[in-house]
Each structure stands twice: as structure tokens, then as C-alpha cells.
Copies of this chain bind each other. A is one copy, B any other.
Amino acid sequence: MGEAKLPKRLTEGYENFLNGRFPRERERFEELAERGQSPEILLIGCCDSRVSPELIFDAGPGEMFVVRNVANLVPPYKPNDDYHGTSAAIEFAVMGLKVKDIVVMGHAQCGGVKAFAEMQRDPYMRPLAPGDFIGRWIKLLAPAAESIGESTEPLHVWAERLAWESIRQSVANLRSFPYIATLEQRGWLNLHGAYFGVAGGELMALDPSDGGFRQVAAEAHREAFARTPRF
């Protein structure tokens, strides 16, 4: 019986889901299908395979509306005839689903941020492909790059500073959406920045008071870390 093929890994993973999480979540899925979704959180993250928001935040079905693009970038508000996938998702989450929180989550060793940093250093760097969609997309990092200034330190160090600054920039770009500015002023919507360290599993949150990043659940992290010596 000609069953259409998905990659073996996905078929197996789906069977794990059926035998594991699905039974626990089945009612939830039915309910969400009937009532529709009403997530309270919009998370804007990176496509990177190492930073799944649902995994890092142990989130179940219906909890987070998730946009994922390269380098978790929010473009400035600029309505025109182009197809703005990320701005459309933000509009849908904020004005349609009326989320209460927006989180922009960046991470360490981001390939998109690294590519931008390399392009800055070496103008002879070749684009990935003729269309050069990546080269144009990561130009959205330019304002953040300008505000941290020329790199004197090693490239990977500068790239990390750029990743952090770009989270601040994306949060600022969110405020360039008129309705987001209004809702935030009324206290109906909160904007957050976050950063996941990958290697050590630490999570940082952007502190609006001074623009710094502070570790989240630092103590729980220390304990978990202590319990898992590296082999």
C-alpha cells in the first residue's frame, strides 16, 4: 500500500510522540482544535536546530506562538507590498491572538550573526548562493553592528556582542509597530529579550532598566549543572 515517505527519523520520532507524549496531550489537542489556540506568548527565535523554544521552555501544545527566522530578527515597521513574513506573524499574534508577552530569543554561536560579522571583516567573502537572500536578510543586523562599533577583538567575541545588541535592536523594532507601542504603554503587552547559551544551557534575560543581560534561574542552573558532571 503506497504510503508516502517522510525521512525515517521523522517517522520514528512521530511514533515516539504517539507512544509517549500524545496520550498525555490528547485531550489538550482536542480542546485546542475545538476552541482554537489562545497562546499568551509570542516567541521570536532562530531557526537554529539547537534552540527549540518548546524544548528550552518545556512548553506544551497551545502555549507559545512561535516565529523562527535566521538570527531571530524583527524588521522595523515598514508597511509596503513586499511579503513580510515576520511582521505578518507579529501582527497576527498581537492583534489577532492578543498575546500578553513577546519574547525575542537569541543564542550563542548564531550562524546568521557569524556570517554578518565575517562579511564585515572580509568584503571578498562569497555569498551562499546566487540569489543571496541571506546576505540581504542579515543586513537587518547593520544598525546593531553600528551601535557597537568596529570590531577590534577576535571575530567570535565581536559576533557575540553583536548577537546581544541585535536582541536589543529587535525589541526596539517591535516598538516601531504603532499598536505594539500603544499596548505596551497601556501595560497590556510586555516586551522581553532573552539569550540562550547553548554550550552550558544558561539563559539570560534583557534587563530593561539598564539594557544589560541577567541570568534567569541562576541557582537552579548551578544545581542542575552540578548534578551533571561532564563525562
Taking Cβ atoms with an 8 Å cutoff, the residues of A that contact B are 2-7, 9-11, 13-23, 26-27, 29-30, 32-34, 36-37, 39-41, 47-52, 54-70, 73, 75, 77, 79, 81-96, 98, 100-101, 103, 108-109, 111-112, 123-124, 126-140, 177-179, 182-183, 186, 188, 190, 192, 194, 198-201, 203-209, 212-218, 220-221, 223-225, 227-228, 230-231
Cβ–Cβ < 8 Å partners of A54 in chain B: 52, 54-55
Complexed CA–CA distance, A205 and B36 (Å) = 23
Complexed CA–CA distance, A95 and B174 (Å) = 29
Are B49's CB and A39's CB within 8 A?
Answer: yes
Interface of A is mostly: mixed
Count of identical protomers in the assembly: 4
11 residue pairs of the A-B complex, CB under 8 angstroms, read: A4-B204, A21-B55, A29-B199, A33-B198, A49-B66, A54-B55, A69-B86, A79-B131, A90-B133, A92-B111, A92-B128
Since A18-B220, A30-B199 are in contact, a sample of 16 more A-B pairs with Cβ atoms closer than 8 Å, ordered by chain A residue number, is A4-B208, A13-B57, A15-B220, A16-B58, A47-B66, A47-B67, A52-B52, A55-B60, A83-B137, A84-B85, A87-B131, A91-B134, A92-B112, A95-B126, A96-B111, A123-B183
Complexed CA–CA distance, A152 and B216 (Å) = 41
Are A88's CB and B133's CB within 8 A?
Answer: yes
Are B10's CB and A41's CB within 8 A?
Answer: yes
Are B127's CB and A127's CB within 8 A?
Answer: yes
Cβ–Cβ < 8 Å partners of A223 in chain B: 18
Are A85's CB and B85's CB within 8 A?
Answer: yes
Cβ–Cβ < 8 Å partners of A123 in chain B: 179, 182-183, 186, 188
Q: A29-B198, A129-B91, A201-B26 are in contact. Are A19 and B68 (CB under 8 A)?
A: no
Are B130's CB and A79's CB within 8 A?
Answer: yes
Cβ–Cβ < 8 Å partners of A133 in chain B: 79, 84, 87-88, 90-91
